[in-house]
Amino acid sequence: MKEHSLDRLQTRINEMKNPTCLGLDPRPDVVPGFLFDESGDLEEGLYQFGKRLIDATADLLPAVKPQFAYYEACGIPGLLAVQRTMSYAREKGMLVIADAKRGDIGSTSEAYAKAFLGETNMAGEKFSAFPADVVTVQPYTGSDGVKPFLDTAVAHEKGLFLLCRTSNPSAKDLQDLQLTSGSAVVEELAMLIRDWGQPYVTPTYDLSALGAVVGATYPAEAAHLRKLMPQTFFLVPGYGAQGAGADDAVAGFRNDNSGCVVNASRSIAMAYKKFNMPVEDFAEAARLEVVEMKKKLNAALARR
């Protein structure tokens, strides 16, 4: 099969020697208020939040991950802002991971897949609603909820990350339930992800178009899940504000230091506090934090 977007993500990580993803979480307590004052406009303020972080870091970072929840909570202005932000990031050469955690069954999953990875054909027109390179997807409905995303991804040389081990404390509620097979739910899902993704492994990096979300807050688990999914790209959330450090974040990388991208959101956007800089310099502070995070991750990878 042809190259997919997770191949391109690995290529960019290698070129930039940086496996970091810029998470854009425009929470009310994270977006600097002056961005709204300057523009007098919700959409423009939200767009400027992402644009300025992208401008400050695009030469250092392979990818950006807008969190759709925060944009959607702002209604149509928020969704217009995320469309513009995603388009701007792609102009700057970044890969775009739409963190939308969508998922349903059959043809409904197909509609979501087309919205983010493909094209909708409606009213005699073909268009892409929220074009991304990769989208995050929910696993609970099983294979026929996931397959439309995978089919659409493969048809358009894109990829997806299926939730496997989330980074939150109550991840255990369902994911750690012990099965009569001897595995936990999360391990069973890992084996399904491996099997479902196997036909879509390319020789480029021996990675599948079907990736997995594996939180940095469970490093021992990440190392174990890597063994179950050797050809699966991991999106690793939880670095920084959620409590995981560099050594935790690299636990799921493959032996050749490939196969993972580590996301940080608040720790980058709010780095001005850590560096005691004025909020007006949040983008410059973000760059300093990205440089520091890159060093920390590479050092952690070197000492494994």
At 23, phi and psi to the nearest 5?
-85, 130
161 touching its own copies, by CB under 8 A: no
Q: Which residues contact 104 (CB under 8 A, 6 or more apart)?
A: 111, 112, 141, 145
Looking at 1, 155, 179, 299, which residue binds its own copies (CB under 8 A)?
A: 179
173 touching its own copies, by CB under 8 A: yes
CA-to-CA distance for 198 and 8, rounded, in angstroms? 18
Which residues within the stretch 62-121 sit at the binding site for its own copies (CB under 8 A)? 67, 69-70, 72-76, 78-80, 83, 101-109, 111-112, 114-115, 120-121
Give the up-direction half-sphere exposure of residue 53: CA atoms within 13 A in the CB hemisphere. Answer: 37
From the candidates 92, 101, 147, 172, which is the catalytic residue? 101
> To the nearest whole angstrom, how small is the minimum distance from the Cβ of residue 236 to its own copies?
14
Report whether 219 contacts 168 (CB < 8 A).
no
Which residues within the stretch 219-248 sit at the binding site for its own copies (CB under 8 A)? none
Closest to 229 measured CA to CA, from 246, 257, 208, 249: 208
Taking phi first (over 0 means left), then psi (-120 to 50 degrees means alpha), and beta for anything else, what does residue 271 get? Answer: alpha
279 touching its own copies, by CB under 8 A: no
101 in active site: yes
Q: Which is nearer to its own copies, 141 or 202 (CB)?
A: 141
Looking at 59, 87, 93, 177, which residue binds its own copies (CB under 8 A)?
A: 177
Q: Which is nearer to its own copies, 176 or 206 (CB)?
A: 176
129 touching its own copies, by CB under 8 A: yes
> To the nearest whole angstrom, how small is the minimum distance from the Cβ of residue 301 to its own copies?
26
Handedness of CA 146, 148, 152, 157 (dihedral sign): positive
